[in-house]
Amino acid sequence: MASMAHKSLLLRRAFTTLSSRPPQPPPLPSRIFLQPTQSLTSTCSLPHFKPQFRFCTSPLSALPDNASGGPRGPRGPNSGSGGGGGGGEGEEGAGGEDKWSFLSWYLALLEKYPVAVKAITSAILTLIGDLICQLVIDQSQSIDLKRTFTFTLLGFILVGPTLHFWYLYLSKLVTLPGASGVLLRLVIDQFLFAPTFIGVFLATLVTLEGGPSQAVPKLKQEWFSSVVANWQLWIPFQFLNFSFVPQQFQVLAANVVSLVWNVILSFKAHKEVVTK
């Protein structure tokens, strides 16, 4: 009996000791990893890039795809481009987004309204080209607003839309890959389309400016020299354009070079016809 009482006393003391201990913390996770709070693919300059990390103690099965090395899901509009959409960090990336916001906006409009955007772009470039011609080449004391309006109008209703549909048709007409396709598109564009379009443009411009009787003399005087000037400028550029520029951006690239061409074309279109 004494032995049983002694054992009972020892059990009560052990139970009391265990119940009086403070609760033990949960066991540490088997893995600890660092998860970046900024995108490591930010385009900011390296000397100013300060990646920040936070400790995560989730089990490996709960890690996101980009932390566990698994397949990445679809990238969101802000992923990997602006230093993270995680609440105000990544200032360098935000500056990069602002830097390209206008170009992104323009390209979005170009994709949604291709004909209208190309027409407006062409009108702006023909406007600037004619103003440069009047003020720099002709050195006019005042701007001929009627001439500028007519030239700009043709850029809007004729040049931009025509080039849009022409390049679209040409890309479907010539499907040969590689250099042979580029060369064939260049030949068709410069030796079939360009001479015809320059003639139509000059005749239409002279007619709209009130001199339909001068259309034929204007073509006889300026058409061939305009075509030669076109070849000298556009053949080298169009080879690069067809070789390296995606089809949807070819009109945009051509419009940049057309600023120079518009100055030349405005000069030739407004030269006085010399009667023989």
Say what the pLDDT of residue 247 is. Answer: 74
> Which pLDDT value is given to residue 210?
79
pLDDT, residue 117, reads: 93
Give the pLDDT confidence score for residue 37 in this predicted structure.
45
The predicted structure's pLDDT at residue 16: 66
The pLDDT of residue 28: 54
pLDDT score of 8: 67
Task: Please state whether the predicted TM-score (pTM) of the whole model is above 0.85.
Answer: no
Do residues 197 and 223 make contact, with C-beta atoms less than 8 angstroms apart?
no
Structure tokens at 150: 């007519």
Per-run averaged pLDDT (10 residues), the chain, 276 residues? 64 63 58 46 42 43 41 40 41 51 83 93 94 93 93 94 93 89 90 95 91 87 93 88 79 80 91 73
Q: Is 210 left (phi over 0), alpha (psi -120 to 50) or beta?
A: left
Domain boundaries, the chain: 115-269
Residues forming a β-bridge with 36: 53
